[in-house]
Structure formats: structure tokens, C-alpha cells
Chain A
């Protein structure tokens, strides 16, 4: 049984194609049952986010992967040729490494973003609730969660804002604690003002006031944001109330001078104010930032914070990749110890079958023996088989590289004509003299056979 990961992501497919093959739209549960009806499974997990669509499946051969690949186009009624060139296929360890990197946020559009781990967990629990997961996928996904969690707690990969609006909000939180109950004043009613207003609204601020030189545009924006329009003349009163001020007017001259802000701070009794100047040219006199409780940031300041955070994330990448590799190694060794088990079992069954067959064949010759002697013969032959199998079994279990495991398993399958999944013993036609030799053999003293 091998593990496959088939899918496409922002790295391989354009956004319009990603939208076409979105499994979440029709419900991941529906997709899972459609996969099952096409004979994929029993273990299959569908991961669908806005940046990726991936299917993790367990199957005997690449035929499973092929079937899953076709499923992408068939299920979404997209020509296969259009999808095929964007699909990637990962097998075994590579599939695990891929999932671990995804869960750790290393494969995300914004590297280190934290949402993806939750999305991977949701994908797994959907599949698990519908009983589409088994031993291999359970272990795979729990290892992926561990890798994602370790990367998040042991590295600074997810730290620091990497977009200007997020940088502004995290700064505001560092000043005010949480933003619930804080009031916001927006100067200007343009597109930038609106965008920032929407971001702040999502933080559940108490009130948003909008002031613009033309009252009607302020009113328009106020109605879309659910805020309150303030006449331009009442700006100073609004300043006295606001905690966070966004300035985005198109004015050519400074709107908030240092002296104006100094006056506004007096009735505030030094309550801190956070001013974000996203206008160009600037709306706020830079010297206003020297006032005690005035925290003034302009768009360039925010931009450089974002750049620094991105650079810092780059440094953490190597540590994150190392953690993923550790988890991959751990998972792989588990997977391989599991992979050799069927071969070991088949080998033992094969040898036991030969022994039983020989005993049955020699039955007429042993008819005259005492039950005690017959029991001794049975014991001796069993010990010989055990001893013969001991070293190969140990060697197989010690293998730690996937290709070798597969090669050894193949060789054993051919040499002993094993069928790993077929547990029914095959009774061979062994040559008679060989059989006789075996029954004559005795285990050497001190042998570890049978232990």
C-alpha cells in the first residue's frame, strides 16, 4: 500500500483553474464519496483551500494516482488536458514531505501564514468523520499536525505582520491592547480610506467617524461602513474622542499640524492616540509624532515594518524546513517498518507452508513412530524454519530507505513467489530429497531460533 498526494496549488496552477477545481464549493464530503465510488480508497483525504486542491490517497499502484488525477477533471467537468499539466504527483515519503510543508505554512502563498494548519485539520476531520481514513492516513495527518505545530511554536516563521493593513492593526493592538471599544476617525473618503475602514471594522471597533471636506462623500462612506459622518468644521472635537486616526485625504497641504494635535491632546488628558497617515503627500506634520502620547506612523513606516518581517521570516525558513525533515524522517521510518510487515508475514507463511507440506508428504514414512518422536520431529522442523527466517526478518525490519525496502520486497516476492496480500499458504511441490535433508537437520545448540 502506497501513499499518494495528487493536486494543484498556487505554485502550479493559475487562479481561474484553481477556482474550477475547488472541492469545497460542492462539499468535501460529496467529493469524498465520489472518490470512493470510483474505487479510490479506502483511505482518502481531500484538502481544498482557495490556494490549493489536493487529494491524499492510499493505493496499490500508480493506477490509484492515475484515477485520482482523472477525478480532478471528471468531477469538475474540466477537460483533462487543461488540468493534467498543472497537477503534481508525490509518492510515499515525498507525499508526506509535501503535506508536512503545507501544514507548516511553507508551501503557502504568504509563507508562515497560520490558517493553513486549521484547514488541514478540518480536511482530515471531515474525512475521518466519514470513515475515509485508516492507519496510514491517521498517522500521516497527525504527524503533519505535529510538524505544523512545532514550526509555529519553535520558529518565528508566523510572526510579524506581512501586509500593511495587518501591520497597522497589530501596532494598534500593541498600543491599546484589544481594539474592541476603541473609536476610529477616518479623514478622507477615498478608496484607501474605505479599505482601511473595512479592516478596522473587522476588529470590532466601537465607532467609526468619517470626516471629509465634502460632507456628502463622508456621508456615503459612513453609510457603507456603518459609521458616522463628521462635518469638517467639527474635526477637532472628533480628534479629541478618537483613539485611532486614519488620514487619507488628497489635500496638498498638511491637515493635522503639530500645534493642532497638541491642542487636541489637552482635553484627552494624555490618552494615547495612534495616527496612521496613508496619504501622499502627507496629511500629518511629522513633528507631531514627537508629542508624548501621539503614535504617528505613515505608509512608508508600515511598509518598512512589513519588509523587515518578511526578511526575518526568510531567516526562520531554514529552521522550519529542518523541523519538517525531522518529522518526515520519523514518519518515514514508521511507514517503512509497516511496509515490510506484509513481506515478512508472507515469507513466514510460505516457509511454514513448505514445512507443513513436507510433513504431510512424509506422513506415511513416519507412521510407525511414537507420538513423542513425531512431536520431536515437528518441533525440530519448526525450529529450523524459525532459525532460517530470523536473520532475513531482522535485516528487513532494519531497512530505512524506501527504495531498498521496495527492492528487497520485490526480490523476495520473486524468489519465493510470495503474494504479500494473499495470506493463503501455497503448498509447493518440493523435491523429495530436499525434504528429507530438512527433516534430518537438527538445530545447533544455543541457537536463538524459536525465541
Chain B
């Protein structure tokens, strides 16, 4: 069932690539429409899973990735519709396809263990995932900023110069995405911390593993520190837009690392 959104995302990615290469307005509208249809289908899938399981399908890494892809799609569509700027769609849609392969291959819904039956769990995971979606957008915006910046500096005005919005626009959107992401991550980490102290008495071994030394928690805290630095460096230290762009592009690698390999293989506290 999860194949339909994946197919639609892949079609949207192809259309965004074609739109980026040839800048045909009709292909652009087609890309947006297909992505919208993909998000809609994905919403339906998540809705069905919720009905089936009796709770939101947020348990387990696959389900979390699925929810993340869905939120990224929604946030990107929001940005595209408000900024009337389609050139970032190619990068976002490709990232979505890449990640959505995981829940499509592993669509089973993990039953919710007693440990996670808390409203704090939903707040924790939704805010963290939304933070990651914002960071993904910041990553794409930072990447495109660097590409355009290099072209302008090298005085070789070509491919990206013709296709991307202004440096200023990319920088402003990047700053906004990082700030929103940082706020959500702060909330998610704080709620997670409070909740972890509440479940200390639980017999579940994962509750016992909830400590700063667990790789997942550690890397999340490092990410939070890096993004905090990004926010402060830009606002207080007057970091240049180029450095901020680089940082937001590189920091997302940390997020992805934490999300997929660590989430699957290394963590002892978050392996649901």
C-alpha cells in the first residue's frame, strides 16, 4: 500500500528534474500536482494505518521515516506555494524518494509497547520529525545557496544562475528553516528528557538505556548544539550567509546519520 506514494513521489521528482532542466511551466505545474497527489496518497496511507493500529503509526524507525517524508512533503509544498519558487523541488523530491524507499520496503506497523503509551511520546516524536523536515529544507536551501554563490563568484553565470532564486531569498528562507527547526528540536528534546525521567522505573530495557551515552540521544544532542550554534552565529556573531549555508548543509548529514543508520543499528534506547 505504501508503494503508491513512493511511485507518485518518484514521478514528481522526475517532473521536477525535467522542470529544472528545461524550465517548462507546464512540467513545473505537473510536478507540483504529482507531489501534492503523493502527499495526499501518503496521508491516506497514514490514516489507514492509524485506523488499523488504533494509534498514530509513529513507532519504529520505518514509521518515523514515513512520517518524516510526509511532513517534508507538506512543508515543502507550503514553501513552494507561498514563495512561488519551484527550483528547490528537485532536491526535496529526490530526498523524499530516497527516504521513502525504507517504509515502502518495510510497511509493517509496529505495535505500540506500553512504554510509548504516553501523550509525551507523540509530542516528542512529532516535534523532532518536524524539526528534521525543516532541517532538510534548510539543507536544500544551503546547498543551492552554495551552488549559486560559487557561480556568481566564479563569474560563470550559467546553469544555476538561470534557475535559482536570488542569494538573498535563499539565505532568508534558509535562516527561517533553521530557526523553525531549532525551535521544534528544542521542544522535542526537552519533552524527551522529561519523559525519560518519568519512565526510569519501567522494566523495559530500552527505558534503562535512556542516557546521554546512547548513540541516538548523543547525536541528537550534538545536532541540537550545532543548530543552536547556527542560530547564534548568524544572529549574534554576524556569520556570513555562505558559512551559514555550508553549516546548514553539513549539519543535516548529522541528522540523517542519526535518523537512519543509528536509528536502525546502534541505539539501545530508541529501537522500537
Interface residues, chain A, with chain B CB atoms under 8 Å away: 153-154, 156, 159-160, 171, 173-177, 269-270, 272, 289, 292-293, 295, 297, 301, 304-305, 308
Task: Tell me if B119 is interfacial: C-beta within 8 Å of chain A.
Answer: no
Asked if residues B25 and A174 are in contact (CB atoms below 8 Å), the reply is no
Please indicate the chain B residues that have their CB under 8 angstroms from the CB of A175 in the complex.
152, 166-168
- A154's nearest neighbour on chain B, judged by CB, is B24
**Cα of A285 to Cα of B152 in the assembled complex, Å:** 18
Asked if residues B241 and A295 are in contact (CB atoms below 8 Å), the reply is no
Task: Tell me if B257 is interfacial: C-beta within 8 Å of chain A.
Answer: no
Please indicate the chain A residues that have their CB under 8 angstroms from the CB of B217 in the complex.
none
Interface-facing stretch out of B12-20, B68-76, B153-161, B182-190? B153-161
Shortest Cβ distance from A375 into chain B, in angstroms?
59
Task: Tell me if B240 is interfacial: C-beta within 8 Å of chain A.
Answer: yes
Please indicate the chain B residues that have their CB under 8 angstroms from the CB of A154 in the complex.
24
Task: Tell me if B206 is interfacial: C-beta within 8 Å of chain A.
Answer: no
Q: List 30 A-B contacts (CB under 8 A).
A: A153-B24, A153-B25, A154-B24, A156-B162, A159-B162, A160-B157, A171-B152, A171-B157, A173-B166, A174-B148, A174-B161, A174-B166, A174-B167, A175-B152, A175-B166, A175-B168, A176-B167, A270-B238, A270-B239, A270-B241, A272-B241, A292-B242, A292-B243, A293-B240, A293-B241, A295-B152, A297-B155, A304-B155, A305-B157, A308-B157
- B169's nearest neighbour on chain A, judged by CB, is A177
Report how many A-B pairs have Cβ atoms within 8 Å.
49
Shortest Cβ distance from B236 into chain A, in angstroms?
10
Asked if residues B241 and A176 are in contact (CB atoms below 8 Å), the reply is no
Asked if residues B240 and A270 are in contact (CB atoms below 8 Å), the reply is yes
Please indicate the chain B residues that have their CB under 8 angstroms from the CB of A176 in the complex.
166-168
Please indicate the chain B residues that have their CB under 8 angstroms from the CB of A173 in the complex.
166
Q: For window 227-255 of chain B, which residues contact chain A by CB distance below 8 Å?
A: 238-243
- A293's nearest neighbour on chain B, judged by CB, is B240
**Cα of A295 to Cα of B150 in the assembled complex, Å:** 11
Shortest Cβ distance from A316 into chain B, in angstroms?
12
Interface residues, chain B, with chain A CB atoms under 8 Å away: 24-25, 148, 152-153, 155, 157, 161-162, 165-169, 238-243
Knowing that A295-B152, A295-B153 are A-B contacts, what are 12 other residue pairs whose CB atoms are under 8 Å apart, sorted by A's residue number?
A: A159-B162, A171-B157, A174-B148, A174-B161, A175-B167, A177-B166, A177-B169, A270-B240, A272-B241, A293-B240, A293-B242, A297-B155
Please indicate the chain B residues that have their CB under 8 angstroms from the CB of A293 in the complex.
240-242
**Cα of A177 to Cα of B241 in the assembled complex, Å:** 14
Asked if residues B167 and A272 are in contact (CB atoms below 8 Å), the reply is yes
Please indicate the chain A residues that have their CB under 8 angstroms from the CB of B166 in the complex.
173-177
- B160's nearest neighbour on chain A, judged by CB, is A174
Shortest Cβ distance from B7 into chain A, in angstroms?
29
Asked if residues A269 and B238 are in contact (CB atoms below 8 Å), the reply is yes
- B162's nearest neighbour on chain A, judged by CB, is A159
Shortest Cβ distance from A171 into chain B, in angstroms?
7
**Cα of A154 to Cα of B155 in the assembled complex, Å:** 26
Please indicate the chain A residues that have their CB under 8 angstroms from the CB of B239 in the complex.
270
**Cα of A171 to Cα of B151 in the assembled complex, Å:** 11
Please indicate the chain A residues that have their CB under 8 angstroms from the CB of B25 in the complex.
153
- B167's nearest neighbour on chain A, judged by CB, is A175
Please indicate the chain A residues that have their CB under 8 angstroms from the CB of B243 in the complex.
292
Please indicate the chain A residues that have their CB under 8 angstroms from the CB of B161 in the complex.
174
**Cα of A145 to Cα of B152 in the assembled complex, Å:** 35
State the 3 A-B residue pairs at the shortest beta-carbon distance, nearest first: A269-B238, A270-B240, A177-B168
Shortest Cβ distance from B76 into chain A, in angstroms?
21
Please indicate the chain B residues that have their CB under 8 angstroms from the CB of A269 in the complex.
238
Q: Which of B24, B25, B148, B167 has the most CB of A within 10 A?
A: B167
**Cα of A81 to Cα of B24 in the assembled complex, Å:** 49
Shortest Cβ distance from B161 into chain A, in angstroms?
6
**Cα of A270 to Cα of B153 in the assembled complex, Å:** 15
Please indicate the chain A residues that have their CB under 8 angstroms from the CB of B155 in the complex.
297, 301, 304-305
Q: Which of B155, B162, B239 has the most CB of A within 10 A?
A: B155
Shortest Cβ distance from B155 into chain A, in angstroms?
5
**Cα of A154 to Cα of B26 in the assembled complex, Å:** 11
Please indicate the chain B residues that have their CB under 8 angstroms from the CB of A153 in the complex.
24-25
Please indicate the chain B residues that have their CB under 8 angstroms from the CB of A272 in the complex.
167-168, 241
Instruction: Given A175-B167, A305-B157, decide whether A292 and B152 contact each other with a Cβ distance below 8 A.
Output: no
Shortest Cβ distance from A289 into chain B, in angstroms?
8
Please indicate the chain B residues that have their CB under 8 angstroms from the CB of A295 in the complex.
152-153
- A297's nearest neighbour on chain B, judged by CB, is B155
**Cα of A270 to Cα of B168 in the assembled complex, Å:** 13
Instruction: Given A153-B24, A159-B162, decide whether A174 and B152 contact each other with a Cβ distance below 8 A.
Output: yes
Asked if residues A292 and B168 are in contact (CB atoms below 8 Å), the reply is no
Please indicate the chain B residues that have their CB under 8 angstroms from the CB of A304 in the complex.
155
- A289's nearest neighbour on chain B, judged by CB, is B153
**Cα of A295 to Cα of B24 in the assembled complex, Å:** 30
Please indicate the chain A residues that have their CB under 8 angstroms from the CB of B153 in the complex.
289, 295
- A266's nearest neighbour on chain B, judged by CB, is B238
**Cα of A295 to Cα of B168 in the assembled complex, Å:** 13
- A274's nearest neighbour on chain B, judged by CB, is B152
Shortest Cβ distance from B160 into chain A, in angstroms?
10
**Cα of A272 to Cα of B161 in the assembled complex, Å:** 17
**Cα of A174 to Cα of B167 in the assembled complex, Å:** 6
Shortest Cβ distance from B113 into chain A, in angstroms?
49
Please indicate the chain A residues that have their CB under 8 angstroms from the CB of B242 in the complex.
292-293
- B148's nearest neighbour on chain A, judged by CB, is A174
Shortest Cβ distance from A15 into chain B, in angstroms?
32
Please indicate the chain B residues that have their CB under 8 angstroms from the CB of A159 in the complex.
162
Shortest Cβ distance from B215 into chain A, in angstroms?
35
**Cα of A308 to Cα of B162 in the assembled complex, Å:** 13
- B157's nearest neighbour on chain A, judged by CB, is A305
**Cα of A272 to Cα of B152 in the assembled complex, Å:** 12
**Cα of A159 to Cα of B152 in the assembled complex, Å:** 17
Please indicate the chain B residues that have their CB under 8 angstroms from the CB of A160 in the complex.
157, 162
Shortest Cβ distance from B173 into chain A, in angstroms?
11
- A269's nearest neighbour on chain B, judged by CB, is B238
- B243's nearest neighbour on chain A, judged by CB, is A292
**Cα of A308 to Cα of B161 in the assembled complex, Å:** 13
Please indicate the chain B residues that have their CB under 8 angstroms from the CB of A297 in the complex.
155
Please indicate the chain B residues that have their CB under 8 angstroms from the CB of A177 in the complex.
165-166, 168-169
Q: Which of B148, B168, B243 has the most CB of A within 10 A?
A: B168
Asked if residues A292 and B167 are in contact (CB atoms below 8 Å), the reply is no
Please indicate the chain A residues that have their CB under 8 angstroms from the CB of B148 in the complex.
174
